[in-house]
Amino acid sequence: MKLFFRKKEDRVLATVQDIKAAVRARYGAFAAAGGVEESCCAAQPPAAEVCFAVDHGLYSAAQLAAVPATARNLSRGCGNPLAFAALDAGDTVVDFGCGGGIDVVLAARQVGPTGRVIGIDMTPEMITRAAESVTEAAVGDRVELKVCDMAATGLADASVDVVLSNCVINLSPDKQAVYAEALRILRPGGRLAISDVVLSEPIDPALAAVFAASWVGCMGGAIPETDYLQMVSAAGFTTPTVAARHTLGAGELAAMSCCPGQRYTTPPAPADLAAVAGTVLSIKFTATKPTGPAT
């Protein structure tokens, strides 16, 4: 499988592994720098247009105040999966693409001392920062952090109660493999709590290729919502239940399309962003691994 990926310098054909390497490199540089001043994520005060408001399914002021600054500064999410994951004390939770650890810390507090939270990220620099966040939050007794691919976690079959992810699976060029891995590690009756970026409808193929050429931004791997949710069902989950949808405003779209920031990802042309205005969504959904044999 070959896909287009555009470096800052030029456009080249790239394999899936090349795309993963580019995502790893740019988010790794972002983590090493400790975050940037531009806000394109959920973990910021809801004052500017580029910050999603709390009523769009994001963090409360109390939650943001309760996590270390490192985790807030590195968050590049599009939702708050803890708001609809319904975690219980004692749960085992895995965060796919944990970044600087904002959801790891919040989940660790919800599952309590009898629970376990595993944060995975393919970027070593992010795991280093997440470890700092976990230590500062004093939840290290119930947290494990791993450098690994979402599609190959190395976790045991049927060992997890909940899989979370916050605006990371859209970056994967092989989303089917990610959801197959989530199904494998979840116990029967285990569930997903996912926030991600999707399209409300297909866009012109030529325009989609332009965004795919800068895959590291959250538009590069975005696919139509219908296709995305069908993919989740095809992996073996129950029909997903959408908890919330939010259409990205112009400022949000411009920021998210060059995540983790303009220092790392070339912004799309204004005309290209204008062409997809109103069609880029943040969705939050749940789905469950069936308790019986697949039919």
Q: How many domains does the chain have?
A: 1
**Segments of the chain scoring below 50 in pLDDT:** 1-13, 37, 39, 42-56, 295
The CATH number given to whatever domain includes residue 45 is 3.40.50.150
- Residue 294 domain-assigned? no
- Residue 128 domain-assigned? yes
- Residue 293 domain-assigned? no
- Residue 186 domain-assigned? yes
pLDDT at 154 (0 to 100)? 97
- Residue 73 domain-assigned? yes
Q: Is the alpha carbon torsion for 129, 135, 138, 144 positive or negative?
A: positive
- Residue 295 domain-assigned? no
Site of tokens 């287009």 = 4
- Residue 57 domain-assigned? yes
Distance CA 132, CA 148 (A): 18
pLDDT at 57 (0 to 100)? 53
pLDDT at 19 (0 to 100)? 86
pLDDT at 7 (0 to 100)? 40
pLDDT at 180 (0 to 100)? 98
204 contacts 243 by C-beta, under 8 angstroms? no
- Residue 47 domain-assigned? yes
Domain span at 239: 2-288
